[in-house]
Amino acid sequence: MNIYPAIDIKDGKCVRLKQGVAKDKTVYFEDPLDAAKMFADNGAKWLHLVDLDGAFAGTLCTLGILSKIAALGVKVQIGGGMRTKESVKKALDAGASRAIVGTRACSEPSFASELVSLFGDKIAVGIDAKSGKVAIKGWVEVSKVAALDLAADVAKRGVKTIIYTDIDTDGMLTGANIPAQEAMLKTLEPYGANLIASGGVSNMKDIKKLSELGLKYKNFDGAIIGKALYEKKIDLKELLKGE
């Protein structure tokens, strides 16, 4: 199971939000590069970057930070504001190994097809759900689209990685929504698409439950961990030693 430490960037700082609410933020590092160095030093092979300003504004805002983090030698996937082919290309050119598209893939699934034809498996679709419905535009709006339906649609179109975030648990340290993640794994399985789980991971018990999903489903790629790392509920170095 791959572990993806999360670095959420707002106003140039490394922050965490509760359930995606912009006003409800905690600043953990003044410079996101310091967070990236800490995770890389602890053995992380991947980092999960979220451009929160980009998500709210609709355009990528963190290319400079992205390129500095990618230069550390760790693989980076980035999402937030990825709503044009140009933005995706800029992110990949700046050193990202994977670009995550969310809002536009929900409103226009054919956009995901276009990106896959251009960039192959460097494209992931981020599906963020509140009560099973897809949230868009930095989680400000909740659409009428069911998360599982969107996942099946983009997987049919060739997207090989889906990142599924349960908003109700994100940033709350209340535990991962295992039934929701399992339902997503079952949905993606027939199409050969992989799942990265996100939201609510709070301690090693959650990691164990997610690891059990990985034993049950071959298409389970790994998990994104955010607040639990910053609040020292999970020791990344110890966790990665056990891989």
CA angle 187, 130, 84 (to 5 degrees): 75
Note if 153 is an active site residue: no
Note if 128 is an active site residue: yes
30: which 2 tokens? 């003044």
Q: How far is CA 88 from CA 81, 111, 235, in A?
A: 9, 12, 32
- DSSP letter at 190? G
- DSSP letter at 42? T
Q: How far is CA 25 from CA 4, 51, 214, 232, in A?
A: 20, 14, 31, 17
Neighbours of 242 (CB within 10 A): 8
Give me the catalytic one of 51, 128, 166, 170: 128
List phi, psi (to 5°) of 217: -125, 120
| Contacts (Cβ under 8 Å, ≥6 apart) of 3 | 44, 46, 222, 223, 225, 236, 239, 240, 243
Give me the catalytic one of 8, 53, 170, 206: 8
Positions marked catalytic: 8, 128
